[in-house]
Each structure stands twice: as C-alpha cells, then as structure tokens.
Amino acid sequence: MSRWLDDPLLSVEGLTMRFGGLTAVSDFHMRVGRGDITALIGPNGAGKTTVFNCITGFYKPTQGRLALAHADAASTHDVDALTRSGRRFASMGGRDLFLLERMADYEIAARARVARTFQNIRLFAGMTVLENLIVAQHNALMRASGLTFFGLLNTPGHQRAEAAAVARAVGWLERINLIGRADDPAGALPYGDQRRLEIARAMCVDPVLLCLDEPAAGLNPRESAQLTALLRSIRDHDGVSVLLIEHDMSVVMQVSDHVVVLDYGRKIADGAPQEVREDPRVIAAYLGVDDEAEVIAAESEIARLAGEAP
Amino acid sequence: MAAPTAPPRSRLQTALGDAGFAALVTFGLSFPLLAFRTEQDMQNRLVVEPRWSWSLAAVLAIFCARLLAGLIQDWRARALAIPGALVAIYGGSLALGPSFSAGALTACAGLVLLALAFPLDARLRQAPAPAARSEGSDRSRLFALGGVLALFLFPFVMLTLLGPAGSLKWINNYGVQILIYVMLGWGLNIVVGLAGLLDLGYVAFYAVGAYSYALLSTTFGISFWLCLPLAGILAAFWGVILGFPVLRLRGDYLAIVTMAFGEIIRIVLINWTDFSNGYAGISSIPRVTFFGVPFTANEDGFAALFGLEFTPIHRTIFLYFLILCLALLTNAVTLRLRRLPIGRAWEALREDEIACRSLGVNTVNTKLTAFALGAMFGGFAGAFFAVRQNFVSPESFTFIESATILAIVVLGGMGSQVGVALAAVAMIGGTEILRELDFLKHIFGGSFDPAQYRMLIFGLAMVVMMIWKPRGLISTRAPSIFLKHKRAVAGSLVREGHG
Ligand SMILES: Nc1ncnc2c1ncn2[C@@H]1O[C@H](COP(=O)(O)OP(=O)(O)OP(=O)(O)O)[C@@H](O)[C@H]1O
Ligand SMILES: [Mg+2]
C-alpha cells in the first residue's frame, strides 16, 4: 500500500537548508510515490516552502541528495553511481535519472520535468490567459521554431507546433472552465481562477511531478471542491504525481495518498492520511506546543476553563 | 445518376491559361503603344518604324511573370522567386553581352533560386489552418499600409512642393533624423519594452556600429553594404559582452552598470588614439553610393546615369529611403519575434522572471538574445549614422543620446511599436520645430533668443506629458496571440520589468 517506499519518483535524502544561522530544514528525508498525491503539511514557518524551493532548484540545498527517476524507480546502486560520477543527470539502464540538487531551476523544469506553482501566485499578469499557457510550452515551441530561424520564416513545422500548443492550452482551459476568458489578461481574473490557471500553466510544461504550494489558500468551499476534483483528475487522467503543501486539512485528507508532516524544519510524521491524523506529535505541533505531556496539560486546562465558565 | 463533372484543371493548366490570357492582353495593348514608333526622317516626314522586338519582349515578360505568379502562390516563395528571376534575367543579358562566363554563372544562380521556390511553395501551402490567430485586424493593417505609403511618398511630395533647396531641411532634419531615432527607439524597445531590462548605455552599440563602418571602410575599403551586416554583428557581439555581467543585476544596479558600459566605450574611443583617432574622430568616411553608383556631378554619377540634373538632394533622398527601410526591417523583425517563443519569453521575463524559470525558460539565453538583438539594430543605425555624416567622433555618443532614446521608449509606452514611433516624432521633431520660434521675438523683443529656451520648453512638455499619461502615449499591450477577440491588455496590469 505504501507506493512511496516501493516505487518512489523522487527521493529526498538528508536535506538540510541553512540561511546564515537559521536552519530552515534539517536532515529531512522523504519519498514521493509515483502516481501519488503527496501532501507536505506543517505549521507556519515549518520549512515547507523551503523544501519546495530545494526540489525545484530555486535554493541550492546546504546538504542532501534529491534523486528523481523517470519511468520507474532507480536502484540505490544507480543513484550512487551517478552521484560519484559528478554529473547532474544520466540515462542509466534505460531510465533517466536526475540529481536535482545539482541542476539549475530552469533545467529542473525543462529536463527533469518538475513543474511548480507559488504560494503567492506568479502569473504573467499583463499577458492573456492563453499567452500564459503558451509561454509554459516554451521549450517545445523553441525546438519546433528551429531556435527562431524557422519561426521567422513561419514554416509549416513551426505552424503545426504552434497549433498543437494552442490546442493543448485550449484543452486545459476547458478543463479548468476558463475557456471563455482565454483572451483576457491573467491579472484581471478573480483569485480562485488565477490559482487554477497557475496549475494549468504548470501542467502545460508536461511535468512528471507537479509541486503545488498551498493551492487551496483563499478559495471558497465550492472552489476547494473543484480543486480536489482537478487534483484527482491530474493524478488519474494525466498520470502526473502531485506534491502539495496545504493548510486546509479537509483538502489534504480528501485527496492525499501520503502525508508528510514538518515542524521546525524536521519531519515529525510520515504515512497514510489516517495514521498521520492520529499521530500525537502532529496534534501537538498543530496545537502549537512542544510535546505530548503539554498537549494533555493544555487539553485539561481547556476542559477546566470550560467547566468554570457557566 | 450524377452528371459527369469535368475533371478539375491542374495548377499548371490554370496557370498557363491565365498567363496566355495576360499575354494576349499585353499584345493587344503593346500593339498600338510599343510596336510602332513614328519618327521624323531626314526630309522632316513622319515615318512609322516598327518595333516588334519591344512588343515581343513585353508579351514574353508578362507571360512569364503571370505564369510564375500562378504556380507560386505563397508570398514567401514568391519573395524567393522574384529575386531569382531578376538575377537570372540580369545574368542572361550579361551572358549575351559583355561577359559570357560571369553572366552564365549569375543566370545559373538565379535559376537555382527560382527552382528552389517551387518546392518551398509546395511545402508552405500545406501548412495547417491556424487554431489561433496573431495578426492584427484589417483596419489596423490598412492603417499601417497607408502610413508606410505616406512615408515612401514623403520626400517626393516635399520635393514637388518646395523644390530641391527648400525640401532639403524637411527630408534631412526631419525625415532622416527622426527615422534614425525611430529605429534606435525600436531597437531599445526590444531590451527595455519587451524584455524589461533597463539599459542606460544603448548609445554604446550605436557607437560600435558607427565606428565599425568608419574603420572598416577607411582602413580596408570595405563597401557600405558589406559593412552594414558586419556592424550589426559586431554590435550584437558587444551586446552579449554587456549582457553577461548584468545577468544577475536588477533595477538600479542594472541601470548603473549599463550606463557605465556606455561611458566605457566612449572613453575607450577617446583615449585609444591609435585605434580610433581619439577626439579628432574619423573623417572622410566613404559616402553612400547608389549600389555602386556615386552621387556625384560626374558623368558616371547617379544623376547622369538616370538622365537627371545633379543636385545633392538625390543623396539625401537615398539616405532617407535607406533609413526608412532599416527602420521598417527593425519593426518587421520585432513584430514577428513578438509572436515567436523567444518574443513571448522576453515579455514573460518582464512580467515575472521567477515564474519563467519555473516553466523551464532559460532566462540567461533569453536576456542575452534580447541584448544582442537590441544591440544589433543599434549597430545598423550606427553604420547608417557614419555613412550619413561621413565623420564620426566620440562627441556623438554621449550619455544624453542614451537618455534621449530611453525617453523615446518610455514616452511611447514601453513595448508599443507605434507609441515609440510617435514619441520619436514628438521628441526629435519637437526639438527641431522649437528652433523655429522666431515669431516669439515679436512678443518678447528682439533680444529674446528662443533657441536658448528650447530645452526648457521641451523639459516642461515632458513633465506635463508624464503627468497626463504616466505610462506613455500607448500604454496598452496588444496580445501576441488570441483565440476569438483581440483585446488590448490594460497598462495597469502590464509590469515594467525589473528596470
Ligand atoms: N530566503 C530565505 N532567507 C532567510 N530565511 C528564510 C528564507 N526562506 C525561508 N526562510 C526561513 O525559513 C523558515 C521556513 O520558511 P518557509 O517559507 O519554508 O515556511 P513554510 O513552512 O512554507 O511556512 P508557511 O506555511 O507560512 O508558508 C522561516 O523561518 C523563514 O523565515
Ligand atoms: Mg510556505
């Protein structure tokens, strides 16, 4: 049942990230199962976004190894061999293997095919909804336009590629119910639509792993339900693994196959949603106290106050 | 039972039919117009002299042209076929006349070009129907076409209205001067308006282009037409050189380093006297020729060749067309690039660099191509400047030039081609017009010199302009592609980049 152990798409080993004296993430291990929706949760400032930024190359980790294997899981032997070779990625035994901590951010998106969204939405506000989705297909279009030379001549090959990119964008706009607003600037959309558009834009990169940083933040219950359905269809229909950071527990418990909990930069729980929900350390972390004894003390204090009140 | 339908005529048949008809019409027309000529003979009598060969040539030419047009339908293939045919004809006439081998070779080259047009046409015609469109509306196209036509007619209109002496000022001080700045504005617009990289040292590339032509032509005697692309390439190279150190810089830092780059180039030109002759500059740079024919009063000059009376305005008009074509080239390339992945990546970079990288856009390459292309057009303009002035010195490439070009881009509305052109007309034309405020002497007295208040008035106008339209003359952004409706994006949503 635990696919993240049998067939991990991404394995994070010993990830540590320090900012000067502050250790935002320390010795963090996790695996993202192929075809799973994995949730990364934790209180504010726990270091979740920092983990995302390390995976997607926006931060260079102080320490640690992040190995991503396309197609099927890489053996430890292969990963060690690649690590020793000093290269960033390689095709080993027919599998493409990537060491993300060595790669630049744009390479991780373009080659390792990890796409992401941001906690504070980063759409191209002054470009239209359609243009946002076309820019996401930049590398495929760049190849088809012969690094711009064929594009300048407007050859049929380039035209076909552009038509295909538009078709893909239109397909996504229909899925997220934004087809009617294709020609509107992205910055003019309501907040919930912007969130969905950012997900669609990341999907247009054609990723194997989609990282979503708080996709449900600021959504109303109806939009949250739509989001849950969208995430499921991305997993089941597109076969893309999803890693998501989320504070909305109802969304997390509904969609995720696997939950990892971070607190003060350390992993405190890792397992199926049911197990994690009942883990006392997780409860303690969410109530904002350090250990179990204090949880019990706090709960009895609450009970006492409740008894006194009437 | 269905009635048997005639099999569809093949392309060749249709084209041959059309061409035959056109040839017939030409024959009918040329018969009275070309085929006979009346001349007075020795006894002052009119005699009819038949010129069947003229008529035959016209018929043949029309037949061939119509046949080619029928067979080659895509405009890009035609763009290849027309020079091919012209080169072939030129080569053929050369082979029959002065030099057989060179002519035959030229003719072969032309025929090869012509032959290539056919498969190209076939490939281009099977292009798929576009799912989304990117071109402008018919009205805006008509407007642009009208504008270009007016620009091409401008010197002739001036010439007929004011005569050679009177029109010189208009064609040179207004026409050529404004067009140089339109071109520079369009070049810088790629860097500042599209990619959102604030560049305060654009004049460096203008200088590189100017000195490229000046040095290559005076030391190696290379012709202008060869120097022009070389100047562009050299400037693009320096654009990349500037691009590397500023890749990670943003905002004020980017502005300061680019400004310093502009100053470095100028100071090197001043101090490296062996190379650039320092303050004295480079003089007697070869003047522009009409594809090899000089604009002189000699009998092998332009005027004599075309049977015109010599006046210096011919050169000015040629320079005007030259810079007009260069500017239109800059515009065409920029408009096309905006609709290609690279152009969309520039604009995305201006909107949000981090998001670009998260989508796999190589921002280093994207920035460098923006710098290189912007610099290349600056280099072209520089080479033009050198051939126009036939003198260059570091004085022409001071910081105020960079500031003027940047002001044109900002005033125009960053990213808008039309806006930049309008701003160049307003700024350069405006400063020129302010020279002519002599009537103010009647108001303020004879000792008042309006020329001295030129910059003051101009500065005030700029301030008013920026209060009235803070985002420039054309603040909206036209989308590069659309599904159903082309709606301009409001300026308030468009970011200005990290410049
Ligand atoms: N670039 C940085 N420089 C310095 N400190 C940073 C940086 N990025 C994150 N931090 C610190 O690392 C810690 C973890 O931050 P992070 O953004 O990863 O938290 P988070 O779990 O995403 O929180 P939230 O739920 O509020 O988004 C915080 O203390 C933050 O201040
Ligand atoms: Mg966060």
Does any domain span residue A137?
A: yes
CB A186 near ligand 1, within 6 Å: no
- Tell if the CB–CB gap between B481 and A131 is shorter than 8 Å: yes
In our burial notation (b when 16+ CB lie closer than 10 A, e otherwise), range B241-260 reads ebbeebeebeeeebbebbbe
Asked if residue A183 lies in contact with residue A129, where contact means CB atoms within 8 angstroms, the answer is: yes
In which band, very low, low, confident or very high, does the pLDDT at B499 lie, cut at 50, 70 and 90? very low
CB A246 near ligand 1, within 6 Å: no
Does any domain span residue A261?
A: yes
Distances (CA, A) of B139 to B170, B317, B356, B420, B476: 30, 30, 34, 20, 18
**Structure tokens that stand for B29 in this block:** 């027309």
Chain centre distance of CA B246: 29
Distances (CA, A) of B281 to A59, B101, B215, B274: 50, 44, 11, 11
Which residues are bridge partners to B37 per DSSP? Answer: B49
Q: Are residues A12 and A96 in the same domain?
A: yes
Question: Looking at the predicted structure, is the pLDDT value of residue B136 above 80?
Answer: no
Mean pLDDT of B143-162: 84
- Which of A106, A145, A187 is the closest to B340 by Cβ? A145
Mean pLDDT of B193-200: 90
Does any domain span residue A284?
A: no
In which band, very low, low, confident or very high, does the pLDDT at B323 lie, cut at 50, 70 and 90? very high
Q: What is the Cα gyration radius of chain A?
A: 21
**Structure tokens that stand for B267 in this block:** 């100071």
Q: Are residues A106 and A224 in the same domain?
A: yes
Asked if residue B95 lies in contact with residue B103, where contact means CB atoms within 8 angstroms, the answer is: yes
| Percentage of chain B lying above the pLDDT 70 cut | 91
Q: Are residues A142 and A181 in the same domain?
A: yes
Does any domain span residue A302?
A: no
Per-residue model confidence as pLDDT tens digits over B374-432 = 999 999 999 999 999 889 999 989 898 898 899 889 888 877 888 899 989 988 888 87
**Mean pLDDT, chain B, integer:** 83
In which band, very low, low, confident or very high, does the pLDDT at B1 lie, cut at 50, 70 and 90? very low
Distance A220 CA to ligand 2 centre (A): 20
Which pLDDT does position A234 carry in this prediction?
Answer: 93
Distance A45 CA to ligand 2 centre (A): 7
Range of the domain at A58: 1-113+207-272
Mean pLDDT of B469-475: 80
Per-residue model confidence as pLDDT tens digits over A127-173 = 999 999 999 999 999 888 777 777 777 777 788 888 999 999 999 99
Q: Are residues A146 and A195 in the same domain?
A: yes
Residue B266: CB partners within 8 Å, gap ≥ 6? Answer: B203, B204, B207, B394, B397, B398
Does any domain span residue A296?
A: no
- Of A156, A183, A206, the one marking the end of a domain is A206
In which band, very low, low, confident or very high, does the pLDDT at B496 lie, cut at 50, 70 and 90? confident
Interface probe, candidates B76, B353, B358, chain A, greatest A C-beta count within 10 A: B358
Residue from A56, A54, A57 nearest A28 by CA:
A54
Which pLDDT does position A1 carry in this prediction?
Answer: 59
Per-residue model confidence as pLDDT tens digits over A268-285 = 888 888 888 888 888 887
In which band, very low, low, confident or very high, does the pLDDT at A294 lie, cut at 50, 70 and 90? low
Distance A23 CA to ligand 1 centre (A): 10
Give the CA diameter of chain A: 82
Which pLDDT does position B126 carry in this prediction?
Answer: 63
Q: Are residues A200 and A246 in the same domain?
A: no
Q: Are residues A179 and A39 in the same domain?
A: no
In this structure, is the dihedral angle defined by the CA atoms of residues B320, B323, B327 and B332, taken in order, positive or negative?
positive
CB A60 near ligand 1, within 6 Å: no
Which pLDDT does position A310 carry in this prediction?
Answer: 44
Per-residue model confidence as pLDDT tens digits over B302-316 = 777 777 777 888 888
Asked if residue B314 lies in contact with residue B295, where contact means CB atoms within 8 angstroms, the answer is: yes
Q: Are residues A95 and A139 in the same domain?
A: no
Distance A15 CA to ligand 2 centre (A): 17
Residue of B nearest to A150 (CA): B340
CB A309 near ligand 1, within 6 Å: no
Q: Are residues A199 and A225 in the same domain?
A: no
Query: Cα(B93)–Cα(A211) distance, rounded to whole angstroms?
Result: 69
Which pLDDT does position B294 carry in this prediction?
Answer: 79
Structure pTM? 0.79
- Tell if the CB–CB gap between B126 and A187 is shorter than 8 Å: no
CA atoms within 13 A on the CB side of B422: 14
- The domain spans of chain B are 11-122, 144-468
- The least confident of A108-112, A146-150, B140-144 is A146-150
Which pLDDT does position A30 carry in this prediction?
Answer: 92
Interface probe, candidates B247, B329, B338, B359, chain A, greatest A C-beta count within 10 A: B359
- Which of B76, B352, B479 is the closest to A122 by Cβ? B352
- The least confident of B190-204, B252-266, B298-312 is B298-312
Does any domain span residue A144?
A: yes
Instruction: Scan residues 124-183 of A and list those with Cβ closer than 8 Å to B.
Output: 124-128, 130-131, 134-136, 138-139, 141-142, 145, 148, 151-156, 159-160, 162-163, 166-167, 170, 182-183
In which band, very low, low, confident or very high, does the pLDDT at A303 lie, cut at 50, 70 and 90? low
Which pLDDT does position A288 carry in this prediction?
Answer: 60
**Mean pLDDT, chain A, integer:** 86
Vertex B210 angle, CA B204 and B211, to 5° = 90
Q: Are residues A166 and A194 in the same domain?
A: yes
Q: Are residues A217 and A230 in the same domain?
A: yes
**Where does residue B343 rank: exposed (0-12), middle (13-18), buried (19+ CB within 10 A)?**
buried
More confident position, B243 or B491? B243
Q: Are residues A197 and A227 in the same domain?
A: no
Q: Are residues A105 and A228 in the same domain?
A: yes
Chain A closest CA to B185's CA: distance in Å?
22
Which pLDDT does position A244 carry in this prediction?
Answer: 93
Which pLDDT does position B334 carry in this prediction?
Answer: 92
- Tell if the CB–CB gap between A160 and B124 is shorter than 8 Å: no
Does any domain span residue A304?
A: no
Query: Cα(B356)–Cα(B359) distance, rounded to whole angstroms?
Result: 5
Q: Specify the number of domains making up chain A.
A: 2
More confident position, B163 or B265? B265
Q: Which of A15, A18, A19 to mutate for ligand 1's pocket (most ligand atoms within 8 Å of CB)? A: A19
Starting from the CA of residue A213, give the closest ligand: 2
In B190-312, alpha helices (H): 203-220, 224-246, 251-271, 273-276, 302-305
Does any domain span residue A74?
A: yes
| Percentage of chain A lying above the pLDDT 90 cut | 50
Asked if residue B476 lies in contact with residue B489, where contact means CB atoms within 8 angstroms, the answer is: yes
At the topology level, CATH places domain B144-468 in ABC transporter involved in vitamin B12 uptake, BtuC (1.10.3470)
Say what angle helices B363-389 and B177-189 make with each other, to 10 degrees: 170
